[in-house]
Amino acid sequence: MLLLRVAIVDDEPVVCKRLSHALFKEGYEVEAFMSARSFLEAMIDRPFDVVFSDMRLPDMDGLELLPKIKALRPETEVVIVTGYGSIQTAIEAMREGAFHYVTKPVNFTEIRAIAKRAQEKIGMRMENARLREALLGSSGLSSIVGNSPAIQDLFALVRKVAPVDCNVLIQGESGTGKALVALALHHLSPRKNQPFVTFNCGGFTEELISSELFGYEKGAFTGASASKVGLLEAASGGTVFLDEVGEMPISMQVRLLHVLQERRILRVGGTKPVELDIRVIAATNRDLKAEVEKGTFREDLFFRLNVVSTTLPRLADRREDIPLLVRHFIDKYALAFRKSVHGIDEQALGALTGYSFPGNVRELENIIERAVALTDGQTIGLLDLPEDIRNLEFDTLEGDGLPTLAEVERRYVIRILEKTGYNKRLAAQVLGVPRTTLWRKLKEYGVE
């Protein structure tokens, strides 16, 4: 359930205490404030989902406070608490964007009901935002972030291959975005309005792979009390994405090869073939050519899957995309966690661009998700990153003897240049100097 952050703004300590207790018992996170100004200062750092505000406060009234709250966070719901003599003013506040109003003396059953309705409204708004993001993210290449030459080459290939109804093999290390590329190929193809079915071939028994992919007839084996349509049949007209295809057992490779050749399947226990109209996109983090040579992957199946192939770059090979990816993930998780996190400081970004990322983009996403969840500010800093990245040091004192300051600087600049793949614009950003300064330094060092 959505955890609601609730603020109570009232200059009466008894009201604050009783409202806080009533809402805390309902599972909400509650803070109370005795003045509008103290509340607004807290709101900047710790955004609230719902605010119960007294109409009459010592430093401003509710009608003054309402637009200030909306300016800080438009999605925050404001409930005005007022005396009977000010009901008309409370109604005016609702016309200005307040969610509801309640009259004093406070009815705690009513307060709980209003908080519940606010929770439902916020939850629905977040779900709609999530669905919109998913829709936009799955509409093609918009879900793949990057401007590097490697990513631009990938975009060009996807645009060229997507309309062609051929099998595609996507290779690359874990975490490089193979599933996103498969989804982009589907949504840019004539099959975009048909099913996109995903199956992970790793970690399953042959029996489970067989029943999931091919389906079975009633009575085909003990426990088969009804017929089941397999994923290949369910995807007819659309696209099948076979992830980790290099993990598929040899016996299943034979059956998959038959499907690709004949474009029909036979359910387990069945006697009547089912015609298929599918496009197959396969992905693997293995070198399938090497697997063929070792005899663990069928050569004929490899050729069937490898009509068109692409190998996705490691994140370490496209470091210039790291700032864009960081920005993308900050926006994503700030929305998901309902936090006002807007950016990352230069020191933290420098540490990330100097990191090797063995887990590729997936690891970077996990790091940013953690940082957004833990940060107390609006900007991610070095202390919000995992310890191994915070403590990443450049070994500027290697070698014999003690180097001069100029030598330490030279080694450090060259190391940053190496870490950023000799991208001078990104290196200058990490170093925190103008590009002209970096170019001048490199000229002094004899590095072009």
Q: How far is it, in rounded angstroms, from Cα 179 to Cα 175?
A: 9
In tens, the pLDDT along 76-110 reads 999 998 875 566 776 777 778 888 888 888 888 99
> What's the chain look like in SS3?
CCCCEEEEECCCHHHHHHHHHHHHCCCCEEEEECCHHHHHHHHHHCCCCEEEEECECCCCEHHHHHHHHHHHCCCCEEEEEECHHHHHHHHHHHHCCCCEEEECCCCHHHHHHHHHHHHHHHHHHHHHHHHHHHHHHCCCHHHCCCCCHHHHHHHHHHHHHCCCCCCEEEECCCCCCHHHHHHHHHHCCCCCCCCEEEEECCCCCHHHHHHHHHEECCCCCCCCCCCEECHHHHCCCCEEEEECHHHCCHHHHHHHHHHHHHCEECCECCCCCEECCCEEEEEECCCHHHHHHHCCCCHHHHHHHCCEEEECCCHHHCHHHHHHHHHHHHHHHHHHHCCCCCEECHHHHHHHHCCCCCCHHHHHHHHHHHHHHHCCCCEECHHHCCHHHHCCCCCCCCCCCCCCHHHHHHHHHHHHHHHCCCCHHHHHHHHCCCHHHHHHHHHHHCCC
Distance of alpha carbon 173 from alpha carbon 284, whole angstroms: 8
Question: For the chain, first and last CA: distance in Å?
Answer: 57
| 348-406 confidence digits (pLDDT tens) | 888 898 888 888 999 999 999 999 998 988 899 988 998 878 776 444 344 445 556 67
| Domains of the chain by residue range | 5-134, 141-313, 316-390, 405-445
- Per the structure block, which two tokens stand in for 47? 């955004």
CATH of domain 141-313: 3.40.50.300
Q: Which CATH architecture has domain 405-445?
A: Orthogonal Bundle (1.10)
Which tokens go with 425? 């614009």
State pLDDT tens for residues 108-150: 899 999 998 888 888 777 766 555 555 444 456 777 888 899 9
pLDDT of residue 291: 94
Q: What percentage of the chain reaches a pLDDT higher than 70?
A: 90
For the chain, what is the mean pLDDT?
85
Cβ of 33: how many Cβ atoms within 10 Å? 21
Query: For 316-390, CATH number?
Result: 1.10.8.60
Q: Three-state DSSP class for 144?
A: coil
**Is this model's pTM higher than 0.85 or not?**
no
The pLDDT tens digits for 254-304 are 999 999 999 988 888 877 888 999 999 999 999 999 999 999 999 999 999
Nearest one of 295, 301, 187 to 242, comparing CA atoms: 301
Question: Which region, left, alpha or beta, applies to residue 357 given φ > 0 means left and ψ of -120 to 50 means alpha?
Answer: left
Q: Which CATH class, in words, describes the domain spanning 5-134?
A: alpha beta
The amino acid that residue 24 corresponds to is: F
- What is the Cα–Cα distance from 287 to 281, expressed in whole angstroms? 16
Q: One fold for both 5-134 and 141-313? A: yes
Q: With bands split at pLDDT 50, 70 and 90, how would you rate the model's confidence at 191?
A: very high
